[in-house]
């Protein structure tokens, strides 16, 4: 395992680069994902959630996976300027362990990872019902307040139904300019989002 690690009590939280994920980790993550995101339509997984993570933050309670988040980076062009964008997606805590700060710790390590990766700003997508807004606001994210656009697996440019939230990582300036802009935030040319 590598990257940023945090420890408190019996919970272990590790950032694991994708190349260091073993079969057990992948299987445990997949099993948790199926429980946490059972309501996500399969076609969305194949058409829009197609970005490849650079790694995952995994939380372990003893031998059992308690939570995870997938970490992403890419470059986008914002107002003619190349911007290093990071983010994380699929935040998930085992249902019986929620409300104990595991999600916050996992996201905290993900933000440290984005910092170490040299990302200038971070973006994530939430449901438009707003139920997780406060959770991510505590991680420094703010609602973008306008649509974002992505390139689908088939190469179409679309505006997903989700709401984008953005946070500063190494650049407050770019963060402020992205928030102040009025045009949809384009996450291409890389395909998909998280
Ligand atoms: C969102 C989630 C990762 C939070 O994990 P967690 O370990 O409970 O997080 P924490 O203990 O650090 O923080 C809990 C906060 O999350 C909020 N929360 C948001 N969505 C929640 C949900 N579906 N269930 C429980 N709590 C939720 C809680 O209300 C609490 O906020 P509060 O302190 O303002 O009341 C977890 O609830 C989960 O796995 N949900 C299902 C998957 C999901 O919806 N992921 C988010 C995709 S954007």
Q: What is the pLDDT of residues 45-79, one digit of tens each?
A: 889 999 999 999 999 999 999 999 999 999 999 99
pLDDT at site 42: 86
Q: How far is the CA of 57 from the centre of ligand 1 (A)?
A: 16
Q: Nearest C-alpha to atom 24 of ligand 1 is from which residue?
A: 98
Q: What is the CATH number of domain 5-191?
A: 3.40.630.30
Going from N- to C-terminal start, the domains of the chain cover 5-191
Residue 95 has phi, psi (to 5 degrees) of -55, -40
Q: What is the mean pLDDT of the chain?
A: 94
Residues 6+ apart with CB under 8 A from 164: 123, 124, 125, 143, 144, 147, 148, 185
Please spell the DSSP secondary structure of 14-70, one letter per residue.
EEEEGGG--HHHHHHHHHHHHHHTTTS-HHHHHHTS-PPPSEEEEEEETTEEEEEEE
Residue 145 has phi, psi (to 5 degrees) of 80, 10
Q: Which of 8, 93, 98 to mutate to test the pocket of ligand 1 (most atoms within 8 A of CB)?
A: 98
| CA-based torsion, 160, 164, 168, 173: positive or negative | positive
Residues 6+ apart with CB under 8 A from 126: 132, 133, 136, 162, 163, 165
pLDDT at site 9: 52
Q: How far is the CA of 99 from the centre of ligand 1 (A)?
A: 7
pLDDT per residue as tens digits for the range 69-128: 999 999 999 999 999 999 999 999 999 999 999 999 999 999 999 999 999 999 999 999
């Amino acid at each position: 395992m590598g990257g940023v690690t945090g420890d408190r009590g019996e919970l272990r939280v590790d950032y694991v680069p994708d190349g260091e994920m073993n079969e057990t980790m992948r299987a445990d993550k997949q099993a948790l994902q199926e429980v946490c995101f059972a309501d996500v339509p399969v076609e969305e997984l194949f058409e829009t959630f197609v970005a490849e993570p650079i790694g995952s933050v995994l939380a372990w309670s003893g031998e059992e996976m308690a939570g995870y988040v997938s970490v992403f980076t890419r470059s986008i062009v914002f107002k003619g300027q190349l911007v290093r964008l990071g983010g994380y997606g699929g935040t998930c805590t085992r249902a019986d362990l929620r409300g104990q700060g595991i999600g916050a710790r996992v996201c905290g390590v993900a933000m440290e990872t984005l910092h170490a990766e040299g990302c200038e700003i971070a973006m994530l997508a939430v449901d438009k019902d707003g139920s997780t807004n406060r959770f991510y606001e505590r991680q420094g994210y703010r609602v973008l307040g306008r649509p974002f656009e992505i390139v689908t697996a088939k190469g179409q440019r679309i505006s997903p139904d989700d709401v984008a939230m953005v946070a500063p990582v190494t650049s407050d300036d770019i963060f402020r300019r992205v928030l102040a802009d009025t045009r949809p935030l384009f996450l291409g040319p890389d395909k998909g989002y998280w």
